Amino acid sequence: MILPTLDYLKSIKSSPVIHVLDIETASKRQDAYIFSASLVTVDIYQRRVINKTYLLISGEGQEYRHKDDVSEPDSTMAFWLEQKTKSPEAYAEIFSPEKDEQRLSLPEALHHISLYIKENTPEGTKAQVMGNGSEFDNVILSHAYQEAGIEQPWHFRGNQSLRTVCLLGRLLLGIDPKYTLKRTTPLHHSLYDSEHEAEYFIEIVSALIEAITKGHNVVNMASDQEAMFRSSLLKALGYSQSSDKELVDLLAEVEFNRKALHEGEAHACC
């Protein structure tokens, strides 16, 4: 399987690290009151979770953020009342006084998220934050940063949408692990939700990589394509074009370098 090397990704200020974000709120508006937030960090080359964080958030610093009225159409607060019986663990996490000591003020939570993203994004690369949809998690958290006057820890070009990944899985591969993967944890709990989202994100990415590279064999390339490919590898690895290095040896060297760089990045993230 041939993937871009970490050296190449760093040259475009990117990395295989994606932060999967999930928040629970009192509204769907961009100025929604935020109850909790979770980030689960995925390395798509390793196809595994490498870190996670979970925060309960108090009302401090959210005095002017919006909570839906239970009588409003499509009210998020009315939805939460339903969860008292449908998902009692998630409801208790948000509303139980027993959890109050664990809650951070909104500014504290935002600073924690900033530090987490900085520490878990490879140095010299741009953070990628993936919400479930393009209009919710990232937008609301971004608004909270702006309102609090705290620098947002990711660039707007780092806003990613998990729904787009799911759509690609359905359209290109006919798979939908969002619904087919077994889940045993309570719904509407931001940590459990982001863990599940990270799990099916990894499933879809893995399937896409395998589909793209299936049957890929450079030995069967047309001779001119093979020659161009070999020439590019010689240049990238610092060999002269007159080198007698075989293509298979060059590929092995690329893979060795990729793994070495990857291990270095993984060590830096932890």
Taking each helix axis from N to C end, the angle separating 223-236 and 247-269, rounded to the nearest 10 degrees, works out to 50
Quote the pLDDT of residue 221. Answer: 39
CA distance 143 to 146: 5
Residue with tokens 């591969």: 173
Which H, E and C letters describe 176-223, residue by residue? CHHHHCCCCCCCCCHHHHHHHHHHHHHHHHHHHHHHHHCCCCHHHCCH
Quote the pLDDT of residue 264. Answer: 58
Quote the pLDDT of residue 222. Answer: 45
Q: Where are the alpha helices (DSSP H) in 33-105?
A: 76-86, 88-95
Dihedral class, residue 269 (left if φ above 0, else alpha if ψ from -120 to 50, else beta): alpha
Q: Which residues contact 91 (CB under 8 A, 6 or more apart)?
A: 80, 83, 84
Quote the pLDDT of residue 10. Answer: 84
Token code pair at residue 145 = 């940063």
CA distance 22 to 37: 6
Token code pair at residue 17 = 């690290």
Quote the pLDDT of residue 6. Answer: 80
Q: How far, in whole angstroms, is CA 139 from its chain's centroid? A: 15
Task: Give the DSSP H/E element, type plus range, for residue 160.
Answer: strand 159-161
Task: Name the DSSP letter for residue 32.
Answer: B
Quote the pLDDT of residue 174. Answer: 93
Quote the pLDDT of residue 42. Answer: 98
Adjacency order of strands within the sheet including 159-161: 48-56, 34-43, 17-25, 129-131, 159-161
Q: What is the pLDDT along the chain (270 residues), one digit of tens a residue?
A: 467 778 888 888 998 999 999 999 999 999 999 999 999 999 998 999 999 999 999 999 999 999 999 998 899 999 999 999 999 999 999 999 999 999 999 999 999 999 999 999 999 999 999 999 889 999 999 999 999 999 999 999 999 999 999 999 999 999 999 999 999 999 999 999 999 999 999 999 999 888 877 754 433 434 555 666 667 777 778 888 888 777 667 676 776 676 666 565 545 555
What are the chain's domains? 8-213 (3.30.420.10), 218-269 (no CATH)
In DSSP terms, 64 is beta-bridged to none
